[in-house]
Chain A
Amino acid sequence: MTAAANTNPGPLGPTDDETVQKELLRFLESRTRTSWLPDTDLFGDGGQSSLFAMELVVHLEKSFGISIRGANLRLENFRTVTVMTAMVRRLQQAAGAQHG
């Protein structure tokens, strides 16, 4: 994966925090058939499996045109919608600063 992949804004185009959060809550509800609050731990007691975490990684990369690698690829970054939103925005801004 090259850095150039980060310049693709993804199907949702440039986003703000609210768009990212809304999209994540929608995705979670459709995949788990449960509604989630932005700060609920998705992987806590009786929560989602590790394979679902990987599904989230792929979904975030595809939807927001980011590449989640190296130190970012940690379960801690996927625990809640709020945490994921922050990571998506950080990676988008880093890609924008690099190439924009």
Chain B
Amino acid sequence: MTSTPRPTERLVVLGAGVMGTGISTLALGHGVSVILVDTDPDQLARAEHGIADGLRLAQLMGRLPADTEPGTLLTTGSAQHVAGASAVIEAVTEDAALKARLLAEVSAAVRPGTLLISNTSSIPIDELADAVARPADLLGTHFMNPPSLIRTVEVVRGARTGDAAMAAVDDLLGALGRERVVVRDSPGFVTSRILHPMINTAARVVQQGTASVEAVDALMQGCLGHPTGPLRTADLIGIDNLVDSLLVLLERTGDESCRPCDLLLDKVRAGTLGRKSGAGFYTYEEDMR
């Protein structure tokens, strides 16, 4: 009775950074083919390696479904593939203007009713909805890194998100073996609103000389049961992305605990962005970024 294609039929991921790569890995590992779009060919080349490594990690951890052939990956610099998409996941830099501009273009190119997802850690979906032709088709997801190892996804329903889009994202996340928790729209939603100021505070504690990086993480892990420690988590998120998100939160909430501390800003200036650049709060083996 409906002619709407399943969202997994022609999944397009925009942006081949850490999250675009991770979301693509998750989809491919679950047998869903992916068209990964990025204007930077070097970024696409890195993503192909990252996806191969990510699939091995997911297999190592027993997180891939048995007897499922991986999907096919197509990488491209051209956004023309967006036109025939059954679902589009935007995962570019955490910059509201950039995301809005891209979503506007995508929204103009796809069929009405095509699920549009912004994977954002902090930007309110209703703010991005102003840019698109059909706000009902747009919603937010916040996958955690690495998406193939973390089962739960935060789903953000904007004020104008329609029921059809909510049903489509359930279908998509079901195919990817994820569980979702739906929350209302707000800067940073739930996870970033709580986690990001906490990481900022952890960095400030180190900056003030109260404790070493290792000691902060050891206490948060050993005493409070945090799975990786806040500073190792910062390295996993990417410190540049963390600072971008903190600024989004600061601008929209006025909460001073979201003002990025000097240690985070110094690391961004020095290019020590975490795991992806080989060093952040910790250093990483070349092959393990």
Report the interface size for chain B: residues with CB under 8 A from the other chain.
Answer: 21
Of the candidates A33, A59, A62, A73, the one whose C-beta lies within 8 Å of that of B60 is: A73
Q: Does the CB pair A55–B61 fall under 8 Å?
A: no
Are the CB atoms of A55 and B285 closer together than 8 Å?
A: yes
With A46-B221, A46-B222, A51-B288 already in contact, the answer to whether A57 and B60 are too (CB < 8 A) is yes
Say yes or no: is A5 at the interface (Cβ < 8 Å to chain B). no
In angstroms, Cα B285 to Cα A73, docked, is 20
A54 touches B285 (CB 8 A): no
Q: Which of B149, B222, B232, B285 contacts A50 (CB 8 A)?
A: B149
* B59, A58: Cβ atoms closer than 8 Å: no
A49 at interface, CB cutoff 8 A: yes
Is A74's CB under 8 angstroms from B221's CB?
Answer: no
Give A49 to B232 CA distance when docked, in angstroms: 10
Q: Is the beta-carbon distance between A54 and B60 smaller than 8 angstroms? A: yes
* Cα distance, A94 to B104, chains bound together (Å): 56
| Of the residues A57, A59, A75, contact of B56 by C-beta under 8 Å | A57
A28 CB to nearest chain B CB (Å): 13
Instruction: Using known A-B contacts A49-B228, A73-B56, A73-B59, determine if residue A54 contacts B149 with beta carbons closer than 8 Å.
Output: no
A73 to B55, alpha carbons, bound, how many Å? Answer: 11
Neighbouring A residues of B57 by C-beta, 8 Å:
50-51, 53-54
- Inter-subunit contact B288/A53 (CB<8 Å): no
Q: Which residues from chain B sit less than 8 Å from chain A, CB to CB?
A: 53, 56-57, 59-62, 146, 149, 214, 221-222, 227-228, 232, 236, 275, 284-285, 287-288
